[in-house]
Structure 1
Amino acid sequence: MGKRFCFSLPLLDFEMKLADLLKEKKGIKVFGSTDVSVRGVTADSREVAPGYVFFAYPGQKVNGRSFISEAIKKGAKVIVTDSCPEKLLPNVSYCITPEVKKTLAIFTKTFYNKIDEKMKIIGITGTQGKTTVAYLLRHILLTAGYDSGLISTIKYYDGKDWMRAENTTPEIYKIFSILAGLYEKGIDYCVMEVSSHALSLERVFGLNFAAAGFTNLSAEHLDFHKNLEDYKLAKMKLFQNLTEESFAVYNLDDPMGVEIERTTKAKKISYAIKSMGSIRGKVGKITLSGMEFYLNTEDGERRGRTFLLGEMNLYNILCAYGLSRTLGIKGELIMKGIETFRGVKGRLERVENDRGFEVFIDYAHTPKALENLLQTVKPLAKRVILVFGCGGDRDRTKRPVMGKIATELADWVIITSDNPRSENPEEIIEEIIKGIERNNYEKVLNRREAIKRAIHLAKRGDAVIIAGKGHEEYQIIGNQQVKFSDRKEAELALRGK
């Protein structure tokens, strides 16, 4: 497992005066000296070191203003916040602005000498497929001889260390720390997933993207966004902020892709299966071990084979192909990368066994993702046995919808717990059942026992799908993370343990 992400400055000797940072952002009221040497920027008081700028603003769980005193005790020399504290301490400068998050982004970029403009950063957004596209694109870059950083839902890579991700898209100062590590090692590329949360919360404000890819849009995170329109508008920000020198690569079969084509200033590459995109794809013969596919590109027709399965993954391939072309990679090398890519942990990941049936682990946790997953596997198996649940303290409206999809597309469904958090897992299951009209399901509250039950029921030619958690190696129960891996539990069940 990669180490947990811990922010630290790379070996490059970054230091700057506060006055130089202030030149990049107008309208800031300053109390105290501007002739202060800045050694780092952060919004986490635990990471403050002498000479740091500490940004204090309300978060989703805590208010950063409550940690100003702690930051100063640790050596913060500059405090950026939205209102002036009652007590101003000597030897500390206070910057007051209503746009604390944007100021954080601007100060961070300036502090790191705008290294994002000296690199090629590729952002990928969409409801489904971001992680697969990101890992596939990085694999294509490696195949073509280029190392690349990675910022994804699963892990971050800074050119030296693999770190377990805390968020799909981390805070801007953590992004620049990763970029600085890459830049220091002579790595010019970084592939990153860009979440709707990050776009809404200004985590990538001002970041220079050489290209951005869009996969698809369906309902998700409606516990955070007001509605689907608000969710879409957050995603659109990535493409609205691209420059005329950047590239937009988008799915023309999705209505949001059509909107991107109409509104972005960037150079455009569309892809599609059903429409007439710049790059078009078609699924060929498909088995549980892989599929054939056909591409029609600007440099001719191509035929390939991939370990990935289903139409949903052909869309991911098309997106990665388009993004690779924006980086100048030749079609032959792109195809080689696609054909040698083994997939992503927790994304239709096969659990090897000699029992005569297939077992897959998948991250599908939205209605559309679950539907796509089941539609991909169902034609290839005698029976599909599905284990799934819904997360607690998240969008409750999707629960009955997912129950309906699960029982309509799977042959047998075992409904269980999936990160219940502060909610009662039995009540979550009952909300899932409200959408079910068939009688092909059972409830097994304990996820470990649910996985055992599915393996026990499976016969030769069947497919067991354990959905919802994918790469995650924990269950969130209350406010505690309890060690738990769907894959490891499946392996134990297959061994009869």
Structure 2
Amino acid sequence: MNRPKSARERSLSQLADFLGVEPTSQVDVKFTGVSSDSRNIEKGDLFIALPGARSHGSAFLATALERGARAILTDQHGDEVASRIASAIPRLVVSKPRSICGLVASWFYGEPSKSLFVAGVTGTNGKTTTTYLLQQIWSAAGYKSGLIGTIGIQMGERKIPATHTTPESDEIQRLLALMKEDGARGVAMEVSSHALSQERVKSINFQAVGFTNLTQDHLDYHGSMESYFQAKRSLFTHDYAELAVISIDGEYGKQLWNEVSIPKQSISVKGKADWYLERRERTADGFELLVRGPEGISIENKFNLIGEHNLENLLVAIALAYKSGIDPLVIATSLPMLTGAPGRLESVVTPTTTTRGIKVLVDYAHTPDAVERVLTAVRAQGVQRIIAVLGCGGERDKAKRPMMGSALNNGADLPIFTSDNPRGENPREIIDEMLSGVVLKEGAEVIIDRRSAIKRAIQLSQEGDAVIVLGKGHETGQEINGVKSPFNDVEELERALSERT
């Protein structure tokens, strides 16, 4: 694991003093790294054993010790486990280790977020695209930056795949320290509701945070929309951020705007706000825009992404970029160069698409609202028919499945219902739940195998049509019964297109 240079040797007594707790042993030890993941422990590290949804970190204590852990920070349960299997190892015991994990890592790495412009973006849809747009604006300004999100971690030219939208708190601090040492001035970070609920972004000093929208998702975790909203809302407080940038086009955005007490700026695609669109004209590739901002700011140029939802993402990114010190003229100059994130309305272009005159797209849309927005965006491009492929993930928010099915059936001319990542569920049963209450239109099909569904969509396409495969976007695997096999929607489309020739 790549260690920041700021990872200097610290003692357990120093950490105990910092936290205001007493070590379980009179023996003081020094440690040279911190990690809550036993697989990343190196000789001389402090292992932070956290409680988890499925298991406690202390269950992996033996692995951490084998890899050279020198001390442990944990709770009472972890202390009991450690006293049985490694009673001699020095320990610090706290009531809520998850709450202070990020604090400990931030202290260890020298509080890296205080030396960076860290912009956090949250919302059901648009986090990835917004952070990508922000980072590209920074790049156009010669502003070296980092990116942390769903698709991965980016530090300069280095790209690392991600396992979570927002990593564990100690890992975030390590990444921020590395980005700081790499010369980054800014970091664009997606902040998920899970990360907020699990306190993964505690001890990060966000200079600004952005809110895109809130629609149904993750109710398997949060239980209700109110709980989901409150998780998002927690980011927009003095505990986390100095400025809030909020899209007020949705009901939850309006509610957030009314409740937030930190300095704030509004954005709107639909009407007047601190940042708004005075003019927009559709083009073949996107829009011609005139953006108005505070203090008489004007930003005018082409923006080559389709979809009203991408205008919302853009305005949030512009407001965050301006807050970070980027000149409006530089922002305006960057607009035509901005591209979408991988798997977000990503075009698949081959000789077949060109000769047959069809549009082929991949999008990560996996909520009812996102499916509706994406299909509306494609429809606005003047295509003949939309042939769309969609499934729902297994072991995730079941309540949204009928709404997903309805959005597909209503928005596509030829909807094809298929599998996503079934995980441990029966794929046919997932599709049946998608079809609950849906009166299928003529031409709709159910094809359980995703590869076959994609091939069928290409077979059905004619000149002027658009084929769009939804749900997985940038993902490179499909999980069925605990086994994750290679699967990439873009590659499957390319294969189907080559076979059609």
After TM superposition, the score normalised by the length of structure 1 is: 0.94
Secondary structure at the aligned position of 1:495 is classed as: helix
User: Is 2:102–2:173's contact at 8 Å kept on the other side of the alignment?
Assistant: no
C-alpha deviation, 1:190, in angstroms: 1.0
The offset of 1:366, in angstroms, is: 0.5
Task: Render the CA deviation track for 1:473-492: whole Å, top value 9, x for unaligned.
Answer: 11111111111111111111
1:162-220 alpha-carbon deviations (Å, 9 max, x no partner): 10111110011211221121121222211110111111111111211111111111111
Measured against aligned partners, the alpha-carbon deviations of 1:383-423 in whole angstroms (never above 9, x if no partner) come to 11111110111111111111111111211101111011111
Do residues 212 (structure 1) and 225 (structure 2) align?
no
Partner secondary structure for residue 3 of structure 2: coil
Q: Contact 1:50–1:74 (CA<8 Å) still a contact in 2?
A: yes
Match of 1:255 in 2: 251
Between stretches 299-308 and 396-405, larger displacement belongs to: 299-308
1:21 aligns with 2:15: yes
Alignment partner for residue 486 of structure 2, among 465, 475, 483? 483
Q: Distance in 2 between the 1:348 and 1:34 partners?
A: 57
What SS does the corresponding residue of 1:238 show, helix, strand or coil? coil
Aligned residue number for residue 113 of structure 1: 110
Q: Aligned-pair distance for 1:329?
A: 0.7
Kept in 2: contact 1:248–1:266 (CA 8 A): yes
What residue number does 2:459 align with?
456
- The amino acid that maps onto 1:32 is S
1:40-55 correspondence to structure 2 within 5 Å: 40-55=33-48
Aligned to 1:423: 425
User: How does 1:217-256 map onto structure 2 within 5 Å?
Assistant: 217-242=214-239, 246-256=242-252
- Paired position in structure 2 for 1:190: 187
How far apart in 1 are the matches of 2:279 and 2:298?
14
Match of 1:130 among 123, 127, 130: 127
Q: Which amino acid aligns with 2:424?
A: S
Q: 2:339 aligned to 339, 342, 350, which one?
A: 342
In structure 2, the partner of 1:80 is: 73
Name 2:397's counterpart in structure 1. 395
Whole-Å Cα distance in 1 between the matches of residues 150 and 94 of structure 2?
32
Whole-Å separation in 1 of the counterparts to 2:145 and 2:226:
34
Q: Quick check: 1:159–1:181 contact (8 Å CA) kept in 2?
A: no
What's the CA shift for 1:137? 0.3
Distance 2:114 2:457 in 1: 51
Instruction: Verify: 1:436 aligned to 2:430, yes or no.
Output: no
CA shift for structure 1 position 29: 4.5
> Which amino acid in 2 is paired with 1:381?
V
Q: Does the 8 Å contact 2:298/2:328 carry over to 1?
A: no
Using the alignment, how far apart are the partners of 1:255 and 1:279 within structure 2? 18
Cα shift readout 1:139-168 (whole Å, capped 9, x = no counterpart): 000000111011010010234621011111
Which residue does 1:367 correspond to in 2?
A: 368
Aligned to 1:147: 144
> Are the counterparts in 1 of residues 144 and 184 from structure 2 also a CA contact under 8 Å?
yes
Q: Within 2, Cα distance between the matches of 1:103 and 1:8?
A: 23
| CA distance in 1: counterparts of 2:224 and 2:337, whole angstroms | 39
Match of residue 312 from structure 1: 309
Instruction: Give the C-alpha shift of residue 264 in structure 1.
Output: 3.4
Q: How does 1:270-281 map to 2 (within 5 A)?
A: 270-281=266-277
Deviates more, 1:39-48 or 1:191-200: 39-48
* 2-structure distance, mates of 1:88, 1:469: 43
How far apart are residue 260 of structure 1 and its match?
A: 3.5
Separation of aligned partners in 2, 1:183 and 1:303: 32
Structure 1 residues 268 and 252: alpha-carbon distance in aligned structure 2, compared to 1, 3 A threshold: same
Contact 1:403/1:436 (8 A) holds in 2: yes
Unpaired stretches in structure 2, ≥5 consecutive residues: none
Cα displacement (A) at 1:131: 0.4
Verify the 8 A CA contact 1:252 1:275 in the aligned structure 2: no
- What SS does the aligned partner of 1:24 have? helix
Rounded to whole Å, the distance in 1 between the matches of 2:278 and 2:28 is: 61
Partner AA of 2:357 in structure 1: G
Q: Deviations over 1:207-266 (max 9, x none)?
A: 11111111111111111111111111111111124567x221111223333343334343
Letter in 2 for 1:475: Q
**Distance of 2:389 and 2:271 partners within structure 1:** 34
- Residue 22 of structure 1 aligns to which amino acid in structure 2? A
Gaps of 5+ in 1: 1-6
Which residue identity lines up with residue 66 of structure 2 in the other structure?
Answer: K
Question: Is the contact between residue 144 and residue 183 of structure 2 (CA under 8 Å) also seen in structure 1?
Answer: no
Distance 1:243 1:395, change over 3 A: closer
Alignment-derived partner of residue 385 in structure 2: 383
- What letter corresponds to residue 21 of structure 1 in structure 2? L
Could you tell me which amino acid in structure 2 is paired with residue 149 of structure 1?
G
SS at match of 2:234: helix
**Residues 288-299 of structure 1 aligned to structure 2 (within 5 Å):** 288-298=284-294, 299=296
Q: Matches of residues 161-172 of structure 1 in structure 2 within 5 Å?
A: 161-172=158-169
Range moving further from structure 2, 476-485 or 13-22: 13-22
- Identify the range of structure 1 (341-350 vs 374-383) with the bigger mean alpha-carbon deviation: 374-383
Question: TM-score normalized by structure 2?
Answer: 0.93
Q: Which residue pairs with 2:471 in the alignment?
A: 468
- Aligned-residue CA RMSD (Å): 1.8
Deviation at 1:288, TM superposition (A): 4.8
Tell me, in whole angstroms, the C-alpha distance in 1 between the residues paired with 2:240 and 2:343.
Answer: 34
* Residue identity in the other structure for 1:194: V
Judging by fraction of residues, say which structure has more helix.
2
Q: Secondary structure at the match of 2:91?
A: strand
- In 2, Cα distance between equivalents of 1:465 and 1:88: 54
Instruction: Tell me the distance in 2 between the aligned counterparts of 1:287 and 1:77.
Output: 61
- Any conservation in 2 of the 1:242–1:265 contact (CA below 8 Å)? no
* 1:339 Cα deviation from its structure 2 partner: 1.7
Q: What is the deviation of 1:282? A: 5.4
